[in-house]
Amino acid sequence: DVKVTQSSRYLVKRTGEKVFLECVQDMDHENMFWYRQDPGLGLRLIYFSYDVKMKEKGDIPEGYSVSREKKERFSLILESASTNQTSMYLCASSLLGRIITDTQYFGPGTRLTVL
Amino acid sequence: EDKVVQSPLSLVVHEGDTVTLNCSYEVTNFRSLLWYKQEKKAPTFLFMLTSSGIEKKSGRLSSILDKKELFSILNITATQTGDSAIYLCAVGRDGTASKLTFGTGTRLQVTL
């Protein structure tokens, strides 16, 4: 059973703080993703990674950075949190393979509030 | 730009009803279409469709893809209150390291 865990379910931070969101998967998946989910906007991809130390920008990378030092762990960093980054953050992972392996498995999400 | 549109945005039905959720897409180099169910937290995977006309079924849920008309439907028969959730449709493209483009979802509420 695929397990994706996120470090916090709820987080409250102040404007300007540096924020770290951690995601860990236990299925040896190559691909990992960070999304934010907002009402009416659906899931939007922030960054993804298809290998250790590799990262690619998604659709809305501004104000975020990521780190992938180990295969199982993918961190999202908000360098200087702003109120418009208040959102639900979802991490996901998927396998890289010859067959179609688009299925992504999601963590429980972190609801971040920036005051 | 890839586009995935789901309809309706929300609906309320009575327990026992049958519902059909729609997903249309405009994606270059289409590879797959996925359905997820999201209750209070993480989206959970329901189906992945890659070929036209083949129905995927799991209990009371079923889904079919039409690659010519660029849409998919998710059917839920004999709905139960536990089916209340947001249903997400997502599309994968060739050559994009398994990136998915998501629709905004359909919020389904099943009442007694």
- Distance from the B16 Cα atom to the nearest Cα atom in chain A, whole angstroms: 28
Q: Which of A35, A105, A109 sits opposite B41 (nearest CB)?
A: A109
Q: Which of B32, B97, B104 sits opposite A40 (nearest CB)?
A: B104
Could you tell me how far CA A88 lies from the centroid of its own chain?
10
Asked if the model's pLDDT at residue A2 lies above 70, the reply is: no
- Secondary structure (3-state) at A84: helix
- Distance from the A111 Cα atom to the nearest Cα atom in chain B, whole angstroms: 10
C-beta separation of A50 from B97 below 8 A: yes
- Distance from the A59 Cα atom to the nearest Cα atom in chain B, whole angstroms: 10
Confidence at residue B28, expressed as pLDDT on a 0 to 100 scale: 85
Helix-strand-coil split of chain A, %, nearest 5? 5, 50, 45
C-beta separation of A56 from B95 below 8 A: no
Check if A96 contacts B (Cβ < 8 Å).
yes
Strand intervals (E) in chain B:
3-7, 10-14, 19-26, 30-38, 43-49, 56-58, 61-66, 71-76, 85-93, 100-102, 106-111
Give the tens place of pLDDT for each residue, A89-108.
999 999 876 667 788 999 99
Confidence band (pLDDT; 50, 70, 90) for B97? Answer: low
Who wins on pLDDT, B30 or B87?
Answer: B87
Look at the alpha carbons of B23, B27, B30, B34 in this order and tell me if their dihedral is positive or negative.
negative
Check if A23 contacts B (Cβ < 8 Å).
no
Residue A84 phi, psi dihedral angles, 5° rounding: -75, 0
Give the tens place of pLDDT for each residue, B54-77.
889 999 999 999 989 999 999 999
- Distance from the B99 Cα atom to the nearest Cα atom in chain A, whole angstroms: 7
Confidence band (pLDDT; 50, 70, 90) for A113? Answer: very high
Q: Which of A33, A100, A108 sits opposite B41 (nearest CB)?
A: A108
A106 contacts B43? CB cut-off 8 A: yes
Check if A27 contacts B (Cβ < 8 Å).
no
Check if B88 contacts A (Cβ < 8 Å).
yes
